[in-house]
Amino acid sequence: MISRPVRVPARRGLRPTLRLRLTLLNGVLLLGAGALLMLVAWLVVSAALHPADELAAGTVVRLADGRQMDVRAWQEALLAAAQTELTAKGLVAVVAISIVGVIGAYAVVGRALRPLHHVTATARRLGGETLDQRIRYTGADDEVAELADTFDAMLDRLGAAFTAQHRFVANASHELRTPLAVMRTEIDVTLSDPGADTAELRRMATVVRDASERANALVDALLMLARSEGRTGLRREPVDLGTGVVGALSAMDHEVRRTKLSVSTELRPAPVIGDPSLLDRLAGNLIENAVRYNHLGGRIWVESRHDGEYARLMVGNTGFTVDQVDVSGLFEPFRRGGRERTGARGSGLGLSIVKAVCTAHGGTVGAVALPGGGMEVTIALPLASEQ
């Protein structure tokens, strides 16, 4: 059996911190620059102190103390003294500047790395219940600010994904109780009847099948809602909002004819960049709602267009009267506007998915209750050329 190599984490106590390494690097650079300056000064002084070269050999100079000295010897002594003094004072100056520079660099680097410590501390505090933590860096617009903003954006995405996951679990556990309870009740009643005939068994099987189909549709809707709210795995492709309308109307054609609805469409170009499956579901949910929450012989009208900045999709229908104050609540999960006039059943997630898909694509959704009954929903997404 071949064992896999195990990565042993480095011991932090044996490794200098980034702050210390940057400070030491700054100190080394200061010492190197100081030594280079001393060398240049030493060479300049050596080249400048040669006044005796212009005098004849054997010339004697009288010093201040009365002594006489050959000009060449005097020049060598003067040069040696200047070089010695320059070296001594230069070393003191370089060491002093290096010490001050190292202390200053340690303080400056510490201040510059403070946001990184904040990032580390925030990451350590993160958990399923603390995803609201943010860095919110307010310093200079530099690489550290970019790192902090990127980290905050990552936390936003994680928070949205966790929220969607928690909501999916809560909604699924709550809403699946009804179809599961129906199936269990039907099965228990049938099993408790020793005289159940074929007709009774067929009736039980039909009820269980309908309940399972409803549960399956509910799970699909919940998954679509969670995917939209979590904004995970979204594709970015050119899509026209009118394309989804055509497919949705085709899928609902039987229901439209059964309820004798009249449909009018005015589909103009409305190009956007987004996830084709989610945008198709958006259009499908709007059309399904317009059909299901309508009355016999009612009307549906659909329009798609763009205004140079946004691509818009508007779907309106006749139907029961809705108060405008209640319209915003219709976009919450499992909220219905009232009795379904055409007898169709829904999951109560249609408009919630529409809102989540719009938000995931940087758009908005609005609805207006019509005075004579029914509602008009308008979707606005950034135009493809504007993204």
Please give the domain boundaries of the chain with CATH numbers for all domains: 15-125 (no CATH), 234-386 (3.30.565.10)
3-state SS of 299-351 is: EEEEEEEECCCEEEEEEEECCCCCCHHHCHHHHCCCCCCCCCCCCCCCCCCHH
How many other C-beta atoms can be found within 10 angstroms of the C-beta atom of residue 66?
A: 6
- Separation between Cα atoms, residue 354 and residue 117, nearest integer Å: 41
From 349, 356, 345, select the one nearest 379 (Cα to Cα). Answer: 356
Taking alpha carbons only, the member of 374, 327, 384, 383 closest to residue 355 is: 327
Asked whether residue 243 carries a pLDDT value surpassing 50, the answer given is yes
**Cβ pair 292, 351 in contact under 8 A:** no
Buried b (16+ CB within 10 A) or exposed e, 132-150: ebebebeeeeeebeeebee
- CA 269, 231, 356, 178 dihedral sign is positive
Is the pLDDT at 128 greater than 80, yes or no?
no
Both tokens of residue 130? Answer: 């603390």
Distance CA 362, CA 310 (A): 11
Q: How many CA atoms lie within 13 A of 165 on its CB side?
A: 9
- Is the pLDDT confidence value at 302 over 80? yes
User: How much is the average pLDDT of 198-224?
Assistant: 80
Convert 135-146 into a string of H (helix), E (strand) and C (coil): CCCCCCCCHHHH
60-70 average pLDDT score: 68
Of 136-145, 266-275, 378-387, give the lowest mean pLDDT range: 136-145
Segment among 3-7, 17-21, 158-162, 190-194 with least mean pLDDT: 3-7
